[in-house]
Amino acid sequence: MMQLHACNAGANRDERSYFPFCIHSFISTIALWTMALLIMFTGYEILFWLLISLFGMIGLLEFYRMLDYKGLPNFKVTGMICGAVLLAGSFYYFSKIGPAHSYDFEVAVLLFFLLTVFGRQMFARLRHDEPLQTMAYTLFGLLYVLWLFNFITKIVYLTPRSSTGQFLYLIAVTKFSDMGAYLTGSVIGRHLMVPHISGKKTWEGFFGAIVLALLCSLALFKLMPGHLSALNWTHATILGVLLGFAAVVGDLAESIIKRSTGVKDSGNLLPGIGGALDLLDSLLFTAPLLFFYLRLVIRVP
């Protein structure tokens, strides 16, 4: 989750011992997204795509490694290759040709991937229901990590390239949702939200995430209306609540996967955060939600 991710997990620990760890997490998060925003503002589209694609591919690899840790079968090489094709092709079609052809390409890649997984399984030795598990885990990894993450590219090219407002808005509201969950959960959190998934997430943190995401959404619309011209006060209010909710769900979704595979973090790539997937988990849900709201509700062409 794009947040003080490990801090949430330790909200009930000794604040003095946990504070330095939270600082490392905060610095890592700010540094990474500052780099992404600077590249985007300078107009180097290829570098921006390479940066987000790198984290997407690392996140997918971490997902398959979590399956390996649990001993769950998967075709990680096949999944990684198809994932790279999906990211590269979608970027090319969105940036050079247009959204309509990108959608066709994406569906074609998913169909080809499904056929490839079935074909790959034909040459693997059959053991009870293991073939079905292998194909399901492999396909789920691609859909959960890269297909959802690829909506960031779609948001960037949904509006004129001169405007980076939608991307900045997505990052900021998601981040403030994370901060709201951590701050309120660590200060006043008493009632566990879903103890069978996470022993630290509280209802107080949940509502804190919603409130801070809403405030961030309204503040951004007030401060940079020219960059968020597709929105109005009503849209900014609704999106603040929806994105805050989606960020919490995204964090819990990864918690389900980590608990199911018996790992604490998806990786150790980022100090104070964990792996790339720990950084991206909330974006996997907020990015598609923002994209479809812009397309279906606001009707951005």
Q: Would the pLDDT of 211 be above 80?
A: yes
The per-residue pLDDT for range 106-122, each reduced to its tens digit, is 888 889 998 988 888 88
Looking at the structure of the chain, the number of domains it has is 1
Locate all alpha helices (DSSP H) within the chain, ordered by sequence. 5-9, 15-42, 45-70, 76-92, 99-122, 130-141, 148-149, 151-158, 165-188, 203-223, 233-261, 276-280, 283-292
Q: What angle do CA 250, 180, 29 make, to 5 degrees?
A: 70
Highest average pLDDT, of 6-10, 170-174, 285-289, comes from 285-289
Q: What distance in Å separates the CA atoms of residue 117 and residue 7, rounded to the nearest whole number?
A: 38
The pLDDT tens digits of the residues spanning 44-95 come to 778 888 888 998 999 999 999 999 999 999 999 999 999 999 999 888 888 7
- Can you give the pTM of this predicted structure? 0.85
Task: Report the percent of the chain where pLDDT is more than 70.
Answer: 84
pLDDT of residue 30: 67
Which structural domain range is residue 200 located in?
A: 5-297
For residue range 220-260, list pLDDT tens digits in order: 999 988 778 889 999 999 999 999 999 999 999 999 999 99
